[in-house]
Amino acid sequence: MGFLPKEKKDKIKRFIKYEDALMSLTAEILIRAVVCSKLGIKNESVKFNRTTYGKPYLEGYDDFHFNLSHSGSWVVCAVSSKPVGIDIEKIREVDLDIAKRFFSKEEASDLFAKEDNEKTEYFFELWTLKESYIKADGRGLSLPLNSFFFRIENDNVIFVSESEKKKFFFKRYDIDKGYKLAVCSMESHFPEDVEIKSFEEVCKFLCER
Ligand SMILES: CC(C)(COP(=O)(O)OP(=O)(O)OC[C@H]1O[C@@H](n2cnc3c(N)ncnc32)[C@H](O)[C@@H]1OP(=O)(O)O)[C@@H](O)C(=O)NCCC(=O)NCCS
């Protein structure tokens, strides 16, 4: 908690569930370590703010974009020189009827056409792709969910949006078989692999700055 400004510490203390507090703390420490390492600045000068839609950004560095996500035992972060969104989800039992509410009709029909044993995984493939796009866009759930859709064909991600003039790129990463992870960026180049650090490694890095 010593790495954080007072407002963030207060927010973390208000969480009811310990796991939620830990996730939020880990995410903040992770992005602080990444910012300090990439920009060569001190933790004390790192200041975050949020857009009116709630997307966090780094104050004073217009070319530095990042996004964070957490689920289960993972906290993930993506950074780019262009807007970026990331989503990780633990694969768990879900009521697939949620798809009728949150997915486009094309996505729902693709999902329900899958074999029963493939449905949950496909649900989370689509969910993480959709969230990564929503988060890269930054408008959150204010973005109409029926204005775009995803399809995965032969392991390729197909993204269809009538209104979207900007170019978005997607990549899925396999870091844990119990999770789905997707990244959306306006930059076409993605690293091949995710860099994985333990909580202790990230804290140690910040301590040594
Ligand atoms: C808040 C939201 C951006 C992501 O929520 P989520 O998937 O539950 O949570 P994640 O762990 O992936 O991401 C949370 C982080 O995203 C970031 N975030 C918050 N608002 C954001 C926004 N408008 N745009 C981009 N990132 C945002 C923050 O860093 C946040 O961390 P914090 O809560 O510690 O501040 C939003 O999309 C949401 O409420 N989703 C709910 C799920 C849903 O209905 N999805 C439908 C599409 S399939």
> Is the Cβ atom of 141 under 6 angstroms away from ligand 1?
yes
Residue 122 confidence (pLDDT): 97
Report the domain count for the chain. 1
- Each residue's pLDDT expressed in tens, for the chain with a length of 209 residues: 999 999 999 999 999 999 999 999 999 999 999 999 999 999 999 999 999 999 999 999 999 999 999 999 999 999 999 999 999 999 999 999 999 899 999 999 999 999 999 999 999 999 999 999 999 999 988 888 888 999 999 999 999 987 766 789 999 999 999 999 999 999 999 999 999 999 999 999 998 87
Phi, psi of 47 (to 5 degrees): -130, 125
What CATH number does residue 112 fall under?
A: 3.90.470.20
DSSP state of 43: G
> Is the Cβ atom of 102 under 6 angstroms away from ligand 1?
yes
> By residue range, what is the domain housing residue 116?
6-207
In a domain, 99, yes or no: yes
> Is the Cβ atom of 110 under 6 angstroms away from ligand 1?
no
Residue 157 confidence (pLDDT): 95
> Is the Cβ atom of 24 under 6 angstroms away from ligand 1?
yes
Report the alpha-carbon angle 5-9-14, nearest 5: 155
Residue 151 confidence (pLDDT): 96
Nearest atom in ligand 1 to the alpha carbon of residue 24 is: 34
Buried (b) or exposed (e) across 4-36, using 16+ Cβ within 10 A? beeebeeebeeeeeeeebebbbbbbbbbbbbbb
> Is the Cβ atom of 87 under 6 angstroms away from ligand 1?
yes
> Is the Cβ atom of 20 under 6 angstroms away from ligand 1?
no
What separation in Å is there between the alpha carbon of 10 and the centre of ligand 1?
Answer: 20
3-state secondary structure 132-182: HHHHHHCCHHHCCCCCEEEEEECCEEEEEECCCCCCCEEEEECCCCCEEEE
Ligand 1, atom 18: nearest CA belongs to which residue? 55
Residue 193 tokens read as 């692999």
What separation in Å is there between the alpha carbon of 85 and the centre of ligand 1?
Answer: 9
> Is the Cβ atom of 48 under 6 angstroms away from ligand 1?
no
Ligand 1, atom 14: nearest CA belongs to which residue? 69
> Is the Cβ atom of 68 under 6 angstroms away from ligand 1?
yes
In a domain, 1, yes or no: no
Residue 209 confidence (pLDDT): 78
How many CB atoms lie under 10 A from the CB of residue 39? 15
Residue 145 confidence (pLDDT): 84
Residue 130 confidence (pLDDT): 96
User: What distances in angstroms separate CA 87 from CA 90, 135, 171, 174, 204, one per listed residue?
Assistant: 10, 8, 11, 12, 26
Nearest atom in ligand 1 to the alpha carbon of residue 138 is: 24
Residue 98 confidence (pLDDT): 92
Nearest atom in ligand 1 to the alpha carbon of residue 134 is: 37
Residue 184 tokens read as 């959306």
